[in-house]
C-alpha cells in the first residue's frame, strides 16, 4: 500500500506532515479543507487533488497567488510524482512524497503535527473521468517584486532639488537686477 503526504518545507509550520487520504481533497486556508494551511497568501479554496489511477492529480482552483509544481505555474491539471515541489503562492512550499506503508503498522505522529493540522475532511467518492491533457502548458511564475531599491527615489528627489535651486537662483538674479553681473554676454549689459 502506498500512502502519500505533503511535508511543509516553508510556510507557517515548517516540518509539519499532511497525510493525503481520500479520492478528492482540497487545499486552502479554510479549516474545512483536507489540507488546511492558515496563511493569508493562500486562498480559502486554493487547489484540488483527485486520486485517479493510483496517483494524485493537482489543479489550481483559480487562486489569487497561483499554484506551482517544480517552479512552473499550473495552467491545468498535473499528475504529481514523488519528489515534486508544490508551491502555493511564493511563500508556502510543500514536498509531495509517497511512503510505502505496512497496513498493520502503527503510525506515530507528533503532538505538534496533530495540533497543527486538523483531520482531513471526508468527502464521498465521486465518479469522475479524467483524461490528462495531451500536452501540459505552464507559464513562468511571476517575477519577484524588488524591494528596497531607492535609486529612482533618490534620483527624482535630486532632480527636483536641482530644479528648485535653479529657479530660486534665477528669481534672486531677477529680483536684485544682477543679470549683467552673472551674464555679461547678454546684449544690453
Mean pLDDT of the chain: 80
Read off the pLDDT of each residue in 67-78 and give the average, rounded to a whole number.
94
pLDDT score for 83: 93
User: From CA 70, how far away is CA 84, in angstroms rounded?
Assistant: 6
User: From CA 61, how far away is CA 29, in angstroms rounded?
Assistant: 13
Pick from 39-43, 54-58, 158-162, 173-177: least confident: 173-177
User: From CA 65, how far away is CA 75, in angstroms rounded?
Assistant: 13
User: From CA 33, how far away is CA 44, in angstroms rounded?
Assistant: 8
Residues 6+ apart with CB under 8 A from 57: 49, 50, 51, 77, 78, 79, 80, 130, 132
C-beta neighbour count of 90 within 10 angstroms:
15
pLDDT score for 173: 84
List, as one string, the DSSP characters of 16-51: -EEEE-SSEEEEESSTTSSEE---TTS-TT-EEEEE
Amino acid at each position: 500500500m502506498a500512502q502519500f503526504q505533503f511535508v511543509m518545507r516553508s510556510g507557517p509550520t515548517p516540518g509539519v506532515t499532511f497525510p493525503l487520504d481520500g479520492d478528492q481533497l482540497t487545499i486552502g486556508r479554510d479549516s474545512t479543507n483536507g489540507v488546511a494551511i492558515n496563511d493569508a497568501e493562500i486562498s480559502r479554496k486554493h487547489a484540488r487533488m483527485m486520486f485517479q489511477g493510483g496517483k494524485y492529480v493537482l489543479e489550481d482552483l483559480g487562486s489569487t497567488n497561483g499554484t506551482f509544481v517544480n517552479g512552473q505555474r499550473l495552467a491545468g491539471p498535473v499528475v504529481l510524482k514523488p519528489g515534486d515541489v508544490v508551491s502555493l503562492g511564493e511563500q508556502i512550499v510543500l514536498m509531495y512524497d509517497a511512503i510505502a506503508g505496512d497496513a498493520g503498522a502503527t503510525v506515530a505522529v507528533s503532538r505538534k503535527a496533530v495540533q497543527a493540522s486538523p483531520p482531513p475532511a471526508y468527502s464521498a467518492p465521486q465518479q469522475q473521468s479524467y483524461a490528462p491533457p495531451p500536452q501540459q502548458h505552464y507559464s513562468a511564475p511571476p517575477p519577484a517584486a524588488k524591494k528596497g531599491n531607492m535609486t529612482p527615489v533618490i534620483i527624482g528627489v535630486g532632480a527636483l532639488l536641482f530644479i528648485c535651486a535653479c529657479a530660486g537662483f534665477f528669481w534672486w538674479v531677477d529680483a536684485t537686477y544682477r543679470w549683467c553681473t552673472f551674464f555679461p554676454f547678454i546684449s544690453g549689459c
